[in-house]
Amino acid sequence: MLGLRKAAQSGLRFYSSAVHIQTVGVIGSGQMGSGIAQVLAQVAKRNVILVDSKKESIEKSLININNLLTKQLNKGNITEAEKSATLSRISFSDDIKSVKDADMVIEAIVENPEIKSKLFQELAAICKPGAILASNTSSISITQISANTKTPENVIGMHFMNPVQVMKLVEVIPALGTSQNTVDVTLQLAKEMGKTTTLSKDMPGFIANRLLMPYINEAVQAFDEGLGTLEHIDTTMLLGCNMPMGPLALADFIGLDTCYSIMNILHTQLGDKYRPAPLLKRYVEAGRLGKKVGHGFYLYK
């Protein structure tokens, strides 16, 4: 009790683990944000406010969520009532101030340190006292992000895997100043979303991308050197190492711009061992970003 009293006197605000997260704001209605919103509403049965400054992105998100739920309905995995209930829990907005009363806000925007830091600074000013602010970043320092708020104890990393509706893992990353209460509440919410969690130290790439991205980067370098064709490199890893997807096809699925961004962060902070493959850079410069634009290492219809 003495420790909590001293913390309160110093101006720190802790979010009690006994408090139930009822409403969650999600910033960014792209593939990751839409997936997070859907699972929160469908599995965890939380009210969700999905925010994006682009109205066309919001409209696309609503269509995608509805289509995915319809597929589940047609397969007999959910009922019409469950589909309707899920959609009723999600509201859409192009105004960031709409999350001011949310118990928790999860950011899922572009993987850019400056843009994320600016957003968290804005959220800290908008959100109610004690609200947890989580970032879905895949590689950026949570401590760096939390430094832009006056309540770093409420900031945490919550790295979902893509696609969120299918992948079972969430990496939880406490920052240097994250309170244990924030960690506990985040772990509990992830569990109620049907996810398995791992805890990672706040290091570049965390666990998943610290291991995955160098693997993809080496495959790009091997392809550039003519070690094998696209198909032969991917098939070797697919059938020879029992990977669920070849590294180059996986890079296309993730987005070559995202892979390049993460490799740049690893390279800058961890050294030359993580230098991005030159071919990866050229593909990004050429706009061949992967499946989302129809052309990466492979050509998509």
Which residues belong to the active site?
A: 138, 159, 171, 209
**195 labelled binding-site residue:** no
**136 labelled binding-site residue:** no
**33 labelled binding-site residue:** yes
- Cβ atoms of 192 and 44 closer than 8 Å: yes
**11 labelled binding-site residue:** no
253 strand-pairing partners: none
DSSP 107: E
**94 labelled binding-site residue:** no
**162 labelled binding-site residue:** yes
The Cα 11–Cα 122 span in angstroms is 20
**66 labelled binding-site residue:** no
**Cα dist from 20 to 15, 24, 144, 246, 250, whole Å:** 10, 11, 28, 41, 37
**200 labelled binding-site residue:** no
Buried b (16+ CB within 10 A) or exposed e, 20-33: ebebbbbbbbbbbb
**83 labelled binding-site residue:** no
With residue 197 as reference, give the H or E element that holds it: strand 196-199
- Cβ atoms of 139 and 165 closer than 8 Å: no
**292 labelled binding-site residue:** yes
The Cα 221–Cα 101 span in angstroms is 48
Q: What are phi and psi of 25, to 5 degrees?
A: -90, 140
**30 labelled binding-site residue:** yes
Annotated binding site for NAD(+): 28-33, 52, 111, 116, 138, 162, 292
